[in-house]
Structures are given as C-alpha cells and as structure tokens.
Amino acid sequence: MVVETNGAERVGDDGERELYVPMNAVVSNGGGVSVWVIEGGRARLQSVRIEGCDDGRVRVVEGLRAGQRVVVDPPVFLANGRRVEAE
C-alpha cells in the first residue's frame, strides 16, 4: 500500500507542523531508518530521522516532506529504482 504524506501533517503542541507516517512504513537499515518513497513511478529508499510515535504512527523530523508518497508494509523484494504502481 502507498500513502501520501499530505494527510499526515498536523500542528504540534508548539504550533509547528509535524509529519507522521505509519510505523510499518519505516524500515531499519544499518543503524538508521528509512522509508520507501515513490517518485516517477519508481521506488527509492529515503533515509529519515524519526522521533516518537503516536497511535501506530511515527513522527518524521528529517528526510521527508509533505506530499511525498511512502510505501506501507514494503515487500522484501523492493529495490531502488524498481518500477511500482500505487493502488
């Protein structure tokens, strides 16, 4: 499943916009974390920095912007540059 991050923004307690993605969109890789983003019909592994979680979602504080599409429950065979179709 692919979700668009536009609906994942909200205003935090400090008045700043926060960006959340489903927890199962985040993958561990060599000591860091990433999400698969879809750009131009192709998958790309994007490093992110996360802080905290809330109701099955994690707050992304760096590496992702509103409007990007991320893959939820990415299949193990997904690879950089692989063509994908969003459902």
- Tell me the domains of the chain and their CATH numbers: 2-71 (2.40.420.20)
Residue 8, pLDDT > 80, answer no
26 vs 36: CA distance, rounded Å:
8
Tell me what pLDDT residue 74 has: 92
What's the chain's Rg over C-alpha atoms? 13
Average pLDDT (61-82) is 91
pLDDT digit string, tens, across residues 70-80 = 999 999 899 99
pLDDT range class, residue 54, cuts 50, 70, 90: confident
- As given in the structure block, the two tokens for residue 22 are 């489903």
Q: What is the mean pLDDT of the chain?
A: 83
pTM reported for the whole predicted model: 0.82
